[in-house]
């Protein structure tokens, strides 16, 4: 198989903020061993940037896709494709609108904008409405709203975790294998659909999600499975 792994909520537990999350000490070694077992056909497919994935898994570097498919690094040491950044004035305008929402935090990812509200989950409906209005008033660039785990994300259309998996599956060592995608949230259904369409399947974490064949109970169960695989 070719193995594609989401990170937050799949390999590592969620934290109060993205920068507070950490990888268990043994995880990089487990991933490295599992990658060797698969002859290199293991990649991280995450909403985080590739730079953040490298930081979390240091010193390990893997084939990776970041920012929900916007960034792509097909080999561990290869170059990463980097999308155009969203206009600074667009980001700052939204930051100003969020200033009155205590507990909401804007993360500028360059090619996308994440609005975290883990510290204030009661703001979910208000923030959702605000972002829909924000998108509706924009003329350019076009953006779509993704709903994650206590986070909303605004990103340009045209790429997702499914397009990232498709790109990996067209090159060695992934091509010719059965893609297996493990992720934890409905936002990842494009990845499940692509893996299934290419003859593989999706596995979800925490609960059985639409498009997944079966599920792991939690991140610890995923890490234990990877350790057995390795």
Active site residues: 6
Q: For residues 126 and 144, what is the distance between their CA atoms, to the nearest angstrom?
A: 17
Q: For residues 200 and 180, what is the distance between their CA atoms, to the nearest angstrom?
A: 6
Encoded tokens for 51: 């730079």
DSSP 8-state code for residue 210: T
The answer to whether the beta carbons of residues 76 and 32 sit under 8 Å apart is no
Of the candidates 95, 34, 25, the residue with the CA atom closest to the CA atom of residue 63:
34
Q: How does DSSP assign 103-123, residue by residue?
A: T-EEEE-SS-EEEE-TT-GGG
The answer to whether the beta carbons of residues 140 and 156 sit under 8 Å apart is no
* Dihedrals phi, psi of 203, to nearest 5 degrees: -125, 130
């Amino acid at each position: 198989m070719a193995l594609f792994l989401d990170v937050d909520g799949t390999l590592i537990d969620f934290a109060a903020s993205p920068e507070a999350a950490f990888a268990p000490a043994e995880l990089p070694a487990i991933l490295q061993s599992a990658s060797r077992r698969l002859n290199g056909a293991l990649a991280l497919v995450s909403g985080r940037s590739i730079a953040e994935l490298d930081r979390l898994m240091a010193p390990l570097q893997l084939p990776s896709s970041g920012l929900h498919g916007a960034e792509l690094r097909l080999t561990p040491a290869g170059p990463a494709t980097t999308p155009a950044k969203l206009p600074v004035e667009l980001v700052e305008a939204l930051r100003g609108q969020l200033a009155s929402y205590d507990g909401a935090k804007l993360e500028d990812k360059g090619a996308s904008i994440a609005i975290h509200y883990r510290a204030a989950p009661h703001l979910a409906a208000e923030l959702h409405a605000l972002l829909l209005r924000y998108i509706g008033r924009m003329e350019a660039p076009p953006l779509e709203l993704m709903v994650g785990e206590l986070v909303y994300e605004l990103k340009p259309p045209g790429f997702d975790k499914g397009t990232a998996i498709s790109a990996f599956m067209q090159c060695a060592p992934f091509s010719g294998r059965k893609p297996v995608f493990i992720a934890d949230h409905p936002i990842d259904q494009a990845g499940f659909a692509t893996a299934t369409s290419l003859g593989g399947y999706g596995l979800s974490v925490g609960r059985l999600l639409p498009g997944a064949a079966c599920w792991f109970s939690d991140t610890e169960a995923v890490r234990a499975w990877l350790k057995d695989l390795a």
